[in-house]
Amino acid sequence: MSVWREEFPGGYQVPREIELMVKQGLVEDTSWKGDASPSFGAWLRDNRLLRLWVEHPNYARREGSAFRYTLLVQRGFTDPPEEWIVGTDDLEEVLEKLLWTIQERGREPRWRLLGPA
């Protein structure tokens, strides 16, 4: 079972497209205990972490952001954001930016957060 499912059972409804990206190894489940929402990430060539935060679908239950999806870059898991890429409620928009950033700036070969695939 993924960390996000264990930590956020209350209807977060992470889109299937993101779950598929996890299964394909494009991103990792970077969710952790105490986080405001589930997150998914990929390491970039400059050793910074591209991270997608997925807030609750119900605006009133969101804790970390007014947007459903927030894509940013940070130095490591616990560091503050260094670069804001997009905040949006549009799944297609955030996935487009996520895939473009992985393609343009991601590690080659692609390495998983917990070691080689």
Structure tokens, 49: 């972490």
Instruction: Look up the pTM and report it.
Output: 0.87
**Full residue range of the structural domain in which residue 19 is found:** 3-105
Q: Is residue 76 part of a domain?
A: yes
Mean pLDDT of the chain: 87
Instruction: Look at the chain and report how many structural domains it folds into.
Output: 1
Q: Is residue 89 part of a domain?
A: yes
What is residue 108's predicted lDDT score, i.e. its pLDDT?
63
Q: Is residue 113 part of a domain?
A: no
Among candidates 35, 33, 51, which has minimal Cα distance to 87? 51
Q: Is residue 115 part of a domain?
A: no
Omega prior to 81 cis, within 30 of 0: no
- Angle 16-23/91-105 helices, nearest 10 degrees? 20
- Sequence-distant (6+) residues with CB within 8 A of 27 are 18, 21, 40, 41, 42, 52, 98, 102
Residue with the bigger pLDDT between 55 and 10: it is: 55
CB atoms within 10 A of CB 17: 12
Angle at 96 between CA 95 and CA 100, to 5 degrees: 115
- 86-89 contact pairs (CB < 8 A, 24+): none
Structure tokens, 90: 């549009």
What is residue 19's predicted lDDT score, i.e. its pLDDT?
92
pLDDT in tens, 38-93: 999 999 999 999 999 999 999 998 887 899 999 999 998 889 999 999 999 999 99
